[in-house]
Amino acid sequence: MIERDIHMKLLLVAMHIEASARAVPLGPAMLASVVKRAFPETVQVSLLDLYLHQTAEACAELILATEPDWVGFSLYVWNRGLGREIAQRLRQRKPTLLLFAGGSEVTADPVGVLGEGCLDLVLPGEGEDLIVEVLGRVLRGEAVAMIQAAIRPSSVPDLSTLPSPYLDGTLEPAAYSGLLWELSRGCPFRCDFCFESRGTTGIRRVPMDRVLAELRLFEACGVSQVFVLDPTFNFDKNQAKVILRLIAAEAPASHFSFELRSEFIDAELASLFAAIHCSLQIGLQSADDAVLRGISRSIDRADFEAKVLLLHQAGASYGFDLIYGLPGDTLAGFQASLDFALSLAPNHLDLFPLSVLPGTRLHDTAPGLQLRHLPEIPYTVLDSPTFSAADMDAAARLAQACDRLYSQGKAVPWFALLREAVELPPSQLFLRFADHAEAHPDPDTTTLQVAFFNTCLADPMAAALAADIIRYFALSGTLLEGRAESTKDPLLWLRTQTQMATFQHDPGHLLEHLEAGVTELAALAFLVPANPCRFLLYLEGEGVHCQELSTEEATALEGLLGGLCPDSEQENARRFLDTVLIP
């Protein structure tokens, strides 16, 4: 029987890697919602966001300042250490506090986490039903040791029984720069390295009426970025299509991030993705079927290519994950996977070393596979019979170079063209780039890219063309990313929504020929002769427009920008902007 006049203060703590659009305390908020519903008059719940860069001492201070009776932590692989240190300090400062934890690290290693001796209770599995049961027992005065002894890993069979922390006001969407949006739990696949594969194999879905209500709330709150929590969003194609149509109708301005399986992409799904603002991530992991079979995955390369082509043709933005250090894989095999991935023109590539996470099947099989890994966070593979420590270092260097040159360097529009001109497979090009970046470090990625291709291309005309292409796409990318409110003030428009630069070749003509399908640098050099000039790049509609400037116009605009334009010229410059350029 719960005492009505008890008022306990529960603080649920999220420890994020860093402040980012993904740093949303959805897990703690889900628990907060069920606790509020179960104990509306006895438990007062609040949330606290902490970050890895904060000291344990500072975090403990922030927690104690809320004067809690109970503190619950969400523990993941990256924050277990910080959580332990905070709990140690809380234990010293206020011994009467009830301290408990849940989250994937607790699910993977409940005995180990409890054995660290800082916590009273650990709640493995999905916590919503379990926390209500456990807090009810605590309120009834049961001994903590008895409660812990009775705890079993929990899961919520029917997600429609859970309240939405967005809809009940626990999480205020407008307070975050992005939102996590849970659409399902569970995964039907059994990849050995993944924690998801250890739970129940079925997928449980959030009911559609809640999906719609949350979507409408996000739109009403002006949410700009939504990260969909569903590791295989398109496993049920029909359901995925229904949700994509809802997004197009209800939240057309927001950007969504999805994780997909390639097998379940079809042309209709591809065009529905292309019709909304979204980015898609596909777990490729390796392009070698034999390697993938070693971790309970597989790939049909022809099917993968065909499905990705559907996304490409529809105009959807997609990227891949690749893992190095997989059992049975080699450095050469990883390079071949990288070359395969790049041949499909992804918008970005995420390359990771294999981690052998506690609680996964791979953790159990690693000794038999002679897969040596760090015993603690981040559990990264050190070596295996086929992937030596030196190979792991070489793969890490390759991954870094790929990230800098390709993903960070926004090289998608020109990578194939320049790589063809250099006549190297992508992995070899990245190795050469790594050498160059180490010998001639430059914090500016575009400058580094230009300098690198200058060393690769023997023909100075080709190098000048490459430099223009790289710089044009870097500048237009900056404009598109920084898209601001339109303004009628010419000077403000010039300062915030344009880029001025000198090109050796007319970028507008270059773009026309690239869009018309010219795929060789030599052909482009023939079609677009050098003609150095100043250009003004500015946003027009969904794209970037390029305006050639006369010497007088360029001088006037530069003077206006630098505040050096003589009064007599200002009027001319402003009129030029007003009448000629502003869309």
Q: What DSSP element (H or E) covers 250?
A: helix 237-250
The CA R_g of the chain, rounded to the nearest whole Å, is 28
Strands 98-102 and 121-122 come out as: parallel
Residue of 25, 27, 68, 231 that binds ligand SF4 (CB under 6 A): 231
Size of the site for ligand SF4 (CB under 6 A): 9
Contact 314, 276 (CB under 8 A): no
299 counts as binding ligand SF4 under rule CB under 6 A: no
Q: Does 362 bind ligand SF4 (CB under 6 A)?
A: no
Cα separation values, 93 from 61, 143, 447, Å: 10, 22, 53
Over the window 259 to 288, marking each residue x when it contacts ligand SF4 by CB under 6 A and - when it does not, the resulting string is ------------------------x-----
Rounded-to-integer distance, Cα 47 and Cα 55, Å: 19
Q: Is residue 68 within 8 Å of residue 7, measured between CB atoms?
A: no
Query: Is residue 50 close enough to count as binding ligand SF4 by CB under 6 A?
Result: no
- Rank residues 237 and 397 by Cβ distance to ligand SF4 and give the closer one: 237
Smallest distance, Å, CB 285 to ligand SF4? 8
Amino acid at the residue 426: P
CB nearer to ligand SF4: pick between 51 and 264:
264
Kindly indicate which of the ranges 163-171, 187-195, 432-440, 542-550 contains the residues binding ligand SF4, using the contact rule CB under 6 A: 187-195
- State yes or no: residue 120 binds ligand SF4 (CB under 6 A): no
Question: How far apart are alpha carbons 422 and 281 in whole angstroms?
Answer: 29
Check residue 359 for interaction with ligand SF4 (CB under 6 A).
Answer: no
Question: Least distance to ligand SF4 from the beta carbon of 259, Å?
Answer: 7
Q: How far is the CB of 22 from ligand SF4 (least distance, A)?
A: 17
The residue (of 298 and 313) whose beta carbon lies closer to ligand SF4 is 298
154 binds ligand SF4 (CB under 6 A): no
CB 172, CB 165: distance < 8 Å: no
Q: Does 147 bind ligand SF4 (CB under 6 A)?
A: no
187 interacts with ligand SF4 by CB under 6 A: yes
CA proximity to 157, closest of 203, 220, 223, 89: 203
Smallest gap from Cβ 349 to ligand SF4, in A, equals 17
Residue 197 CB, shortest distance to ligand SF4, in Å, is 4
DSSP 3-state of 475: helix
Residue 100: CB atoms within 10 Å? 27
Distances (CA, A) of 319 to 170, 187, 313, 342, 350: 33, 20, 15, 10, 8
Selected binder of ligand SF4 within 12, 24, 48, 191 (CB under 6 A):
191
Choice from 33, 154, 232, 257 touching ligand SF4 (CB under 6 A) = 232
Hunting for tokens 């709150």 — which residue is that?
221
CB 87 within 8 A of CB 120: no
Q: Which stretch binds ligand SF4 (CB under 6 A): 150-158, 192-200, 503-511, 544-552?
A: 192-200
**Is 398:335 a contact under the CB 8 Å cutoff?**
yes
Contacting residues toward ligand SF4, per CB under 6 A: 187, 189, 191, 194, 196-197, 231-232, 283
